Amino acid sequence: MFTGIVTDKGEIAELEQAGDLRARIRCHYEMEGVDIGASIACNGVCLTVIEKGPDWFDVQISAESVAKTNIASWQVGTEINLERALKVGDELGGHIVSGHVDGVAEIVAIRDEGDSTRFTFRAPETLAKYIAPKGSVALNGTSLTVNEVEGTTFGVNIIPHTKAVTVWGQAKQGDRVNLEIDTLARYVARLTEWQG
């Protein structure tokens, strides 16, 4: 489990397609404190550490994960948001995030709004019904509050601090981002279906 509070920016150092996709990710974590088998959210995708060095870790990524996320667009040099798994007693600053990406949204507009930046996204139609104003979403692993929803589009504001400590400062219109809907929204919708 994660919180959607990004704790590092990683960089793709190597990619190797051998059966599954294997990626080496450079990071600023103290890797002696990260166990083999640990989970790290990489742009919101929960991946398992299979090897590590002083400033990097390797993950193995299944074809299913590549197909359902924006991992296919990763290249050597791509920067990604990183978050280590939640520990009992940690502060829950965002919302509960599983790291199981539901689909990919597209950035359709970006505009400055005061000191913040307003991003507008288009969600897949099958996921749009789970997104509600003032609800939470995880986008590339970042916990964000939804401002407004209109059909399959929704908007969020990203403050300067978040842009500085994540990869949101590099985002551009047309980018595809990993979308994880709020777990509570998923269960409420499922219960409503059963009762209806």
Q: Report the pLDDT value the prediction gives residue 166, as an integer from 0 to 100.
A: 97
Q: Is the pLDDT of residue 116 over 90?
A: yes
Q: Provide the whole-model pTM.
A: 0.93
**Looking up tokens 């978050």, which residue turns up?**
83
Please give the pLDDT value at position 13.
98
At 49, the amino acid letter reads V
Q: What is the pLDDT of residue 88?
A: 77
Are the CB atoms for 155 and 147 separated by under 8 Å? yes
Instruction: Determine the 3-state secondary structure of 12 from DSSP.
Output: strand
* pLDDT tier, 192 (very low <50, low <70, confident <90, very high otherwise): confident
Q: Over 80: is that where the pLDDT of 28 sits?
A: yes
What average pLDDT does the chain have? 94
Residues 6+ apart with CB under 8 A from 190: none
3-state helix, strand, coil in the chain (%, to 5): 20, 45, 35
First to last CA, the chain: 31
The tokens of 107 are what?
């950035």
Per-residue pLDDT, 95: 86
Token duo for residue 25: 């990710």
Mean pLDDT of 83-92: 84
Q: In the chain, what percentage of residues exceed pLDDT 90?
A: 85
Element (H, E) at 72: none
Question: Rounded distance, CA 132 to CA 62, Å?
Answer: 31
Model pLDDT, residue 140: 98
- φ/ψ of 70, rounded to 5, equals -95, 15
pLDDT value of residue 188: 74
The CATH 2.40.30.20 portion of the chain extends over 8-84, 103-195
Tokens 């990489």, located at residue: 42
| Domain 8-84 of CATH type 2.40.30.20 | yes
Q: Phi and psi (nearest 5°) for 182?
A: -65, 130
* pLDDT score at 196: 57
Q: Is 85 helix (H, G, I), strand (E, B) or coil?
A: coil
Residue 119 CA to residue 112 CA, distance in Å, equals 9
| CATH class of the domain defined by 103-195 | mainly beta
Q: What is the mean pLDDT of residues 149-156?
A: 98
Query: What does the pLDDT average to over 21-37?
Result: 97
Average pLDDT over residues 181-190: 77
Q: Is residue 95 helix, strand or coil?
A: coil
Give residue 185's pLDDT band: very low, low, confident or very high (50, 70, 90).
confident
Angle at 166 between CA 173 and CA 59, to 5 degrees: 100
Q: Identify any residues that bridge with 110 across adjacent strands, giving them in sequence order.
A: 119
